[in-house]
Structure 1
Amino acid sequence: MVSVAARPGRVNEDFTGATPTAAVLVDGAGIPGAESTCRHGVAWYAHTLGGSLLSLLSLTPGSSLPALLAEAITQVTDVHRHTCDVTNPISPSAAVAVLRVSDGDLDHLVLGDAVVALDRPAGPPIVTTDPRELSVSRTYEPTLAAATPGSDEYNRILADLRARRNQPGGFWVAKDDPRAADEAVTGRHSVSELSAAVLLSNGAGRIVDPFGLTGWPQALAVLASNGPAALVDQVRRAEAEHATRPDDATIAYCTDLGGP
């Protein structure tokens, strides 16, 4: 595993952790001005949600991944619903990726813009993403570009975009409503078909999309030969070359899946 803040001195708003049979990655998301809605902050939300998920994965191995994520969202929301404005559209939220190995199968879940990539000795990798947030955001790009930043019109457009979070026809993230977990993208594969599995925050997965500097087979080859830190180093170089604002970058790379 590796998890690196966007820049030195900045709080890392990602979380990753593992048990012998499961791995979790949580990519916290915040909006400027959200401090007034939650006194705890984005990093607290991501780390608390990740810890709750790991505990539930260990204690209730028979439950489905969406059910476990729903319970974790409920637990975290209950902790701060009486002190924070948890229903506010700009209060802390997160993308989530989970995998679990049981009885020869690997189950995985993605909610939001995290990535699960499964490497196979035969055939291309299986990559699971949730493109809805990006798709919805792109529909707002022309009107945002035409408006003056900070103007009433610009702020109205932003508010409308944010209001589509966790709404039908919009996009879904972990926040205050456990029903969002039912919208997660899930899958199951036999571990006998897999050589490795990796969870990536969007800050790490950007080396493939949107930068397009490598494909998933090449990215997984870097992980297999040099480990996750080497891939994050490539991301940082790409951000510098593209003059792109750095993001927290987190990778959990799992190779012993219990297969033959």
Structure 2
Amino acid sequence: MTMQVTTASAQGVGTANEDTVLVSPSGIVVLDGLSAPNDLPLGCVHGTPWFVRQLGAHLINLIGDNTVPLREALRTAIDMVNGLHRGTCALDQEAVPASTVVMIREREDALDYLVLSDNVLVLDFGDKGIKTVTDKRVEEVAGQEMQAALQGPTGTPDHAARVSKLISVQRQLRNRPGGYWVAATDPAAADEAITGTVDIAKVEQAALLTDGASRLVDSFDALTWAQLLDLLRTEGPAALIARTRETELADPVGERWPRFKCSDDATAAYVRIDHLAPAFHRTESREE
């Protein structure tokens, strides 16, 4: 069996790409950093992109040990990153770097997965259908503020103020019972992640997506999950992101598809599993 992996990542609106994707012989990690707040100083002098890169690097190393459960790997990774900047940063402040997480790991005849917050894992079981795994708890809180933030036109001062208010309210509910959970400074958030294991022999292909790369399906209804996988298989992750950008540009102010940003950082990892080939893991990547 071989797992062939292709990846792509592109910056959206903002000063830096706060997504990251990492691939090893046994696993894939995709992270989507949460942008720093405008209303409060960030408790970390390094910033969100640094946090995301450090968390991803520790995760990809930790999941290489097949005996470590994925939740435990995430818990340990958060604690290890805390140790890197506890002496320079105020990690007990309300505004600290944070990230969503989706990752998979090949383990003998199994495929383990973990999803925390609104990244998406897509698993194609062939004739048995497609399964998606995502954690939408962030969409279940601050409903009134979320509806207001989705009102256009995108990019105006009024719209930015409504989005800022939503983020402020969400932050009060982050990593708390009854709220939603992300990877930040509290290792206990790992216990809230969605995890599972499937028989890898039944999986034909998979995709790991940040919400900026999944929006053609789950926000715009421009593709089905099957069509998204077909696009990834035939043209690759960079083509998926390019198609997303074309669709966003066709509706720049969010009139047809209300959203918080005209374009978001977008990252996709596509996995094709060949069950007849000898064991070999090949990766390709592209970042814009």
The two structures share one fold, judged by TM-score above 0.5: yes
Distance 1:185 1:139, change over 3 A: farther
Q: What secondary structure sits across from 2:128 in the alignment?
A: coil
Q: Is the 8 A contact 2:42 2:97 kept in 1?
A: no
Q: Is the 8 A contact 1:191 1:257 kept in 2?
A: no
Matches of 1:121 and 1:145, distance apart in 2 = 36
Q: Which residue of 1 aligns with 2:70?
A: 65
Q: CA RMSD in A?
A: 2.6
For 2:221, give the aligned amino acid.
G
In the TM superposition, what is the alpha-carbon distance from 1:103 to its structure 2 partner?
Answer: 1.7
Matches of 2:164 and 2:241, distance apart in 1 = 34
Q: Within 5 Å, which residues of 2 pair with 1:129-148?
A: 129-141=134-146
In the TM superposition, what is the alpha-carbon distance from 1:254 to its structure 2 partner?
Answer: 1.3
In the TM superposition, what is the alpha-carbon distance from 1:114 to its structure 2 partner?
Answer: 0.6
Q: Is the 8 A contact 1:119 1:126 kept in 2?
A: yes
Q: Which residue of 1 aligns with 2:273?
A: 256
- Equivalent pairs: percent with the same residue? 34
Q: Is the 8 A contact 2:117 2:182 kept in 1?
A: yes
**Stretch of structure 1 that moved more, 118-127 or 82-91:** 82-91
Is the aligned partner of 1:232 residue 2:241? yes
Q: What secondary structure sits across from 2:100 in the alignment?
A: strand
Is the aligned partner of 1:2 residue 2:8? yes
Is the aligned partner of 1:242 residue 2:247? no
Q: Within 5 Å, which residues of 2 pair with 1:1-260?
A: 1-6=7-12, 10-33=15-38, 36-58=42-64, 60-141=65-146, 159-243=168-252, 244=254, 245-256=262-273
Q: What secondary structure sits across from 1:214 in the alignment?
A: coil
Distance 1:159 1:227, change over 3 A: closer
Distance 1:144 1:18, change over 3 A: closer
In the TM superposition, what is the alpha-carbon distance from 1:154 to its structure 2 partner?
Answer: 9.8
Q: Is the 8 A contact 1:14 1:43 kept in 2?
A: yes
Distance 1:41 1:197, change over 3 A: same
Q: Is the 8 A contact 1:16 1:25 kept in 2?
A: yes
Q: Is the 8 A contact 1:133 1:170 kept in 2?
A: yes
In the TM superposition, what is the alpha-carbon distance from 1:65 to its structure 2 partner?
Answer: 0.5
Matches of 1:189 and 1:238, distance apart in 2 = 34
In the TM superposition, what is the alpha-carbon distance from 1:82 to its structure 2 partner?
Answer: 2.1
In the TM superposition, what is the alpha-carbon distance from 1:37 to its structure 2 partner?
Answer: 1.8
Q: Is the 8 A contact 1:30 1:91 kept in 2?
A: no
Q: Which residue of 1 aligns with 2:257?
A: none
Specify which structure has the bigger relative contact order, considering alpha-carbon pairs within 8 angstroms and separated by 6 or more residues: 2
For 1:256, give the aligned amino acid.
I
Q: Which residue of 1 aligns with 2:282?
A: none
Structure 1: segments with no counterpart, 5+ residues: none
Q: How many residues align?
A: 256
In the TM superposition, what is the alpha-carbon distance from 1:69 to its structure 2 partner?
Answer: 0.5
In the TM superposition, what is the alpha-carbon distance from 1:112 to its structure 2 partner?
Answer: 1.0
Matches of 2:218 and 2:164, distance apart in 1 = 28
